[in-house]
Structure 1
Amino acid sequence: MFHRCRHALVLGLGLVAAAAHAQQVFRVTAIPDESPTELARKAAPLVKYLEGALGMKVEYTPVTDYAAAVEALVNRKVDMAWFGGFTFVQANVRSGGKIIPLVQREEDEKFRSVFISSDPAVKSLADLKGKDVSFGSQSSTSGHLMPRSFLLQANINPEKDFGRVAYSGAHDATIAAVASGKVQGGALNISVWEKFVADKKVDTAKVRVIFTTPPYYDYNWSVHADMPAAQREKLAAALLKLDRATPQGKEVLDLQRATRFVPTKADNYKGIEAAARSANLL
């Protein structure tokens, strides 16, 4: 009888362990800087690739806004998050320095924003004075923080000098607002702009770039410092290994708008933290 009970107990524990292993899911999220359908489309091949590389189920978890992406990683509701430079800084400050930027795209070492306009009278940043201008999300690095810091450097204070300051919430929404004439100017990230131009989703005869910012560090994939070092290293290695020469690598990198991923570190984002503090956004 005891032998049979012990056998049942071992079997039961084995099933519990198997179930626990089966339920182990690696969760990924991203700041919602584009439409939900575009974000899901971008995530799908990466999720599939990471499942193979990590040997576990990977799920993409969408969030409603930038703040939710920050909270999700800080509170370990997700294992990895795609942040802009500013959201990384917010998460790092919020967590007491417990967020680790793992990798960034090669493009993120010299990222830029563009100011666009459909008003023929607007040819420079100074011409935006008195006009209605849209940023993206208030927590966006490339759609708000860095464009704002370059405006301030040009002695233009958005709240005092623009007719109205709007926040569209996302880069594609900023293009739409400018194209429709809702606003006379808008700031967004250069990679979304270039993709819209390449896909002929914007009429460049009507909507033009009037200013391109100097470069700065931007997006990264971040994890929580509580992630075991072995898993963190395995994850970083998988992302760094992605290669455009392989069909899977090309598919993932194309959708991430990346040449390749490169290592990054918290110090790269000191300039963004300084810009956020000087603009009273942190």
Structure 2
Amino acid sequence: MFARAARVLAACLALTLAAGAQAQAVLKVTTIPEEAASEQLRKFGPLVKYLERTLGTKVEFVPVNDYPAAVEALVNKQVDLVWFGGFTFVQARLRSGDKVIPIAQREEDTQFRSVFIAQKASGITRLEDLKGRQVSFGSASSTSGHLMPRSFLLQAGIEPERDFKRVAFSGAHDATIASVVSGRVDAAALDITVWRKFVGENKVDTRKVDVFYTTPPYFNYNWSVHADMPAAQREKIQQALLALSADNAEGKEILGLARATRFIPTQASNYQGLEAAGRSAGLIK
């Protein structure tokens, strides 16, 4: 009787361990919510399917509510792979004690830019014209929608809290555009690729709202993982991202949705300039 009970217990334990291993096999992916939730799902759905096939494991996209939540999700290992902006990567690296590793970025992210937009009727044609106006950024943790625009404003001798009539935060790039189009603010700063997407899809009338200033280039977005991920798995994920090519239909769709030519390797040192900008702007203590 005892032997039979032991066998049953062993079988139950084996099933439990197998179920646990199966649960652990799910690769969880998320992104900073720089656009609406529906757009995130549309953009990352094909990538999830590609990674599932390429990695031979179940992949789940797990949306988060805001930029800090994306940082905490990877730092606390609640997800495995995150699409970060450059600044959120810096925040995650610092928050984790240097245990967040960037593995790939778009080729475009080596020379990224932000744009400032305004209603043409406002008469705003240069950064200095923003003084006394209502101006919106994206998320407070956004690289292209806040940190770098603020950094370039400071370099121009413009301090938002002192010089603007009101500083607003829209939370996302698409909401930033909407805030200018609707007249809720006079001008705003955002990711150049989101602006180009909206213009290309005829979602904004450039006869009424357009770019009046484009920033100098800087490093931006990347795919990051936690340092505790096994090296072999990290390498496999990186190679899957680097292998994406516009020469086939699947790769063309995924890269098009990512607004990317291709993904290339990256490293933490590429984002040192963003950390310096964050400290200079008082966004990193």
Please give the range of the TM-score, normalised by the shorter of the 2 chains.
over 0.9
- Which of residues 144, 147, 151 is equivalent to 1:145? 147
CA contact (8 A) 1:118 1:185 kept: yes
| SS in structure 1 at match of 2:35 | coil
1:180-259 equivalence runs, <5 A: 180-259=182-261
Q: Percent identity?
A: 64
- Structure-2 separation of matches of 1:5 and 1:162: 75
1:26-77: CA deviation from partner (whole Å, max 9, x where unpaired):
1011001110110111110011011111111110111111111000000000
TM-score normalised according to structure 1 size: 0.96
1:175-226: CA deviation from partner (whole Å, max 9, x where unpaired):
0000111111000000000000000000110001000001000000000000
Amino acid at match of 2:252: K
Q: Say what the alpha-carbon RMSD is for the aligned residues.
A: 1.5
TM-score normalised according to structure 2 size: 0.95
Give the equivalent residue in structure 2 for 1:82.
83
Deviation at 1:246, TM superposition (A): 1.2
Deviation at 1:19, TM superposition (A): 2.4
Please list every run of 5 or more consecutive structure 1 residues that lacks an aligned counterpart in the other structure.
none
1:1-282 equivalence runs, <5 A: 12=12, 14-23=14-23, 24-120=25-121, 121-282=123-284
Deviation at 1:247, TM superposition (A): 1.1
| SS in structure 2 at match of 1:242 | coil
Amino acid at match of 2:178: A
CA contact (8 A) 1:113 1:187 kept: yes
Amino acid at match of 1:273: E
What is the total number of aligned residue pairs between the two structures? 282
Name the stretch that deviates more: 70-79 or 114-123.
114-123
Deviation at 1:18, TM superposition (A): 3.7
Please list every run of 5 or more consecutive structure 2 residues that lacks an aligned counterpart in the other structure.
none
- Structure-1 separation of matches of 2:120 and 2:147: 23
- Structure-2 separation of matches of 1:45 and 1:4: 49
CA contact (8 A) 2:120 2:207 kept: no
1:80-131: CA deviation from partner (whole Å, max 9, x where unpaired):
1111000000001111111001100001111000000004311111111111
| SS in structure 2 at match of 1:216 | coil
CA contact (8 A) 1:119 1:184 kept: no
CA contact (8 A) 2:244 2:263 kept: yes
